[in-house]
Amino acid sequence: MKGGRSVLIIGAGIAGLSAGIYACKNGYDVMILEMHDKPGGMCTSWKRGDYLFDYSIHNLAGSGKDAGLRKLWEELGALDGLEVIDHEEFARVEDQDGRSFTMYSDIDRTVAELRRVSPDDADVIDSHERMARRFARLDLFGAAMGMRGMLRIMPHLRTVSWLGKETMEDKAAEFSDPFLRRAFPTLQYGFSNMPLIVHYIFQGGLDRGDLGFVRGGSLKFSRNLESRFLALGGKMRYRSRVTEVIVEGSAATGVRLADGTDLRADAVISAADGRSTIFDLLGGRFKDQLMVDYYQSGWWPKDQEMGTSVFLGVKRDLSDESHALSLLLKEPLSVDGRDIDHLDLELFDARSGLVPDGKGVIKVNLPCNYDRWKELRADGNAYLQAKKGTMETIVSTLEPRFPGLREQVEVSDMTTLVTCERYTGCFRGLQPWGSKRDQTRIARKGMSRTLPGLDNFYMAGQWAEAGIGIPTAALSARRAVRAMCKKDGIRFRG
């Protein structure tokens, strides 16, 4: 590597690509190493016949032109030339008796819908409306971009803390209508234990015109970042799996690839998952007790919500459907040994840029038990048969809601946590989970942005922060490069 100070970045997911862009903009000579043959990591899509199956982006914070996080995406060029779709409806919930509730992007319409469904809950709805409007004036996503944003939210921290301890189920219990009590907890991607603060952040953001969908899908978004990185002079090396971070003395000086090649650099940024980075690439030599507890003590969840995704490419026009649909079931459905009482669907029509006119994609998100699917994967045939069985169950369950669906399915696919592990190398295919302690430290300093006793090494991404989301990954990368610039005496350029 020639030029200025050199940096090797492990992983071409959103964090790795973002770190590469920021490092290039600040004069570093940068190479990104990626085990797969394309960028994006989990922020990806793939083609099956006429259909593009999208794995990642649901609602992108910062997509709104006036959003505080918009600056982040402008610095990265992430949305250059891309169209953002702002849906009128955030999510629709239906039961099998014909009742429905829709959460609209517009607060007025959502409140009117609540009053329609549960007219006896005026006081609860009034309180809900006041909180939603409060968060429409409070851009918590944008606060992460700097001190000015943080100062704006400081007067609201007590409310934020309180709502962070309440869940969607807690709020649902305040309604008297039985249907709404069951429907409300499924609004945020079906996560009934989702902190209530997330719901208000989303409702407020949607009302401001933020949290849109990127037309063309997740891989298109990732390709935009890749293009920006390459245009800035960065180098990409695909099919290059890193097996070790080389340490000399107390400093990272390079990496070793699976083929035995050693690459040297002045600094290393790992945008891989934390468990693999700390305990595999570095052999567990640089860590503190929180990291040990978080990764080594079995804190990780047995199941992960949305860990399995079933994709159905259908010869059916879905343009009249809500883009997000939760179906409440009369009879529980057994998935990975766990009974679920609703199905969480994402529906894509031609407007999404994923399918031709008159066709659609139905994506069903399910909980996933990693250990079960890992065991099945050892026998390829058993794994395939189990996937076929799951897809058949989903089609049968959806048929009453979408008459004729079975005959309309032209292609299908299914991913599990094992799929994610295979393509990204991510530990157990998981996203980061909440820590059981030291939340204040993590909020201030992240989980593992740097490692004790190791110089010239940084981590970026969801795992470095112990938080989830595409903006989290990009912001973490920005933070890592800024720290590197400070150490090297370079004035950071965003």
Band (147; pLDDT cuts 50, 70, 90): low
Q: Look up residue 267 and give its two tokens.
A: 């600094």
For range 129-142, the mean pLDDT: 92
pLDDT band per the 50, 70, 90 thresholds, residue 3: low
Residue 405 and residue 340 share a domain: yes
Residues 22 and 114 in one domain: no
Q: What's the whole-number mean pLDDT along residues 316-329?
A: 98
pLDDT of residue 2 exceeding 60? no
Query: What is the per-residue DSSP string for 362-416?
Result: EEEEEEEEHHHHHHHHTSHHHHHHHHHHHHHHHHHHHTTTSTTHHHHEEEEEEE-
The token pair that represents 472 in the structure block: 């989290």
Residue type, position 215, single letter: R
Residue 68 lies in a domain: no
Residues 395 and 439 both lie in one domain? no
| Mean pLDDT of all residues belonging to the chain | 94
Q: Give me the pLDDT at residue 1, please.
A: 46
- Residue 207 scores a pLDDT above 90: yes
The values of phi and psi at residue 143, to 5°, are -60, -25
Helix, coil or strand: residue 233: coil
Q: How far is CA 111 from CA 102, 118, 123, 203, in A?
A: 10, 10, 12, 11
Length of the chain: 494
Percent of the chain whose predicted confidence (pLDDT) is above 90: 84
Nearest CA to 71 among 480, 475, 490, 479? 475
Q: Please give the structure tokens belonging to residue 371.
A: 């250990």
Which residue, 153, 175, 207, sits at the end of a domain? 207
Question: What's the pLDDT tens digit per position in 238-265?
Answer: 999 999 999 999 999 999 999 999 999 9
Residues 6+ apart with CB under 8 A from 119: none
Alpha-helical runs (H) found in 121-259: 122-136, 147-153, 157-165, 168-172, 178-183, 196-207, 218-231
Residue 97 lies in a domain: no
More confident residue, 302 or 397: 397
Q: With CA atoms as reference, report the closest residue to 189 among 293, 310, 38, 325.
A: 325
Same domain for 20 and 112? no
Distant-in-sequence, close-in-space partners of 128: CB < 8 Å, separation ≥ 6: 111, 114, 171
Residue 87 inside a domain? The answer is no
Structural contact between residues 82 and 216, judged by C-beta atoms closer than 8 angstroms = yes
Cα 10 to Cα 16: distance, rounded to the nearest angstrom: 7
- Counting the structural domains of the chain, the total is 3
Whole-angstrom distance, CA of residue 374 vs CA of residue 24: 39
* Same-domain check for residues 336 and 481: no
What is the domain extent for residue 193?
Answer: 103-207
Residue 482 is predicted with a pLDDT of 98
Q: Is residue 26 part of a domain?
A: yes
pLDDT at 160: 82
In a domain, 393, yes or no: yes
pLDDT, mean of residues 206-233: 98
Are 275 and 196 in a shared domain? no
Q: Which of 106, 70, 100 is nearest to 87 (CA)?
A: 106
Q: Are residues 477 and 396 in the same domain?
A: no
CATH number of residue 274's parent domain: 3.50.50.60
Model confidence band, residue 449 (pLDDT cutoffs 50, 70, 90): very high
Mean pLDDT of 310-320: 98
Which of the four pLDDT bands, split at 50, 70 and 90, describes residue 440? confident
Amino acid letter at 376? L
- Looking at residue 151, its pLDDT comes to 67
**203 and 228 both lie in a single domain:** no
Q: How confident is the model at residue 11 (pLDDT cuts 50, 70, 90)?
A: very high
DSSP assignments along 432-478, one per residue? P---SS-HHHHHHHTTTSS-TT-BSEEE-SHHHHT--SHHHHHHHHH
Owner of token pair 């079931």: 329
- DSSP assignment of 53-105: EE-S-SSBTT-STT-TTHHHHHHHTTTTT--EE--SEEEEEE-TTS-EEEEES
Give the integer Cα–Cα distance in Å for 394 and 310. 8
pLDDT digits (tens, 9 = 90+) for 75-87: 999 999 999 999 9
| Cα–Cα distance measured from residue 463 to residue 446, given in angstroms and rounded to the nearest whole number | 9
Range of 4-8, 154-158, 391-395 with top mean pLDDT: 391-395
Decide: residue 63, CB within 10 A, 0-12 exposed, 13-18 middle, 19+ buried: buried
Mean local confidence (pLDDT), 401-411: 98
Q: Is 140 domain-assigned?
A: yes
Edge-to-edge strand ranges of the sheet holding 251-257: 242-248, 251-257, 262-264
295 and 314 together in one domain = no
Q: From 172, 207, 242, give the residue that closes a domain.
A: 207
What DSSP letter does each residue of 151-186 carry, written as one string?
HHHGGGHHHHHHHHH-BHHHHHTT---HHHHHHGGG
Q: Is 380 exposed, middle or buried (0-12, 13-18, 19+ CB in 10 A)?
A: exposed
pLDDT, position 301 = 80
Give the list of residues 6+ apart from residue 464 with CB closer than 8 angstroms, or none: 15, 274, 446, 447, 448, 449, 476, 480
Choose among 343, 363, 367, 328: nearest CA to 172: 328
Residues 410 and 367 in one domain: yes
One-letter identity of residue 359 = K
Same domain, 257 and 346: no
Using a 10 angstrom Cβ sphere, with 0-12 exposed, 13-18 middle and 19 or more buried, the burial of residue 381 is: exposed
234 and 286 share one domain? yes
* Residue 92 within a domain: no
63 occurs within a structural domain: no
Strand 242-248 vs strand 251-257: parallel, antiparallel, or unpaired?
antiparallel
H-state helical runs in 208-261? 218-231
Alpha carbon distance 288, 279 (integer Å): 12
17-42 pLDDT tens trace: 999 999 999 999 999 999 999 999 99
Q: How far is CA 80 from the centre of its chain?
A: 21
Higher-scoring residue by pLDDT: 161, 91: 91
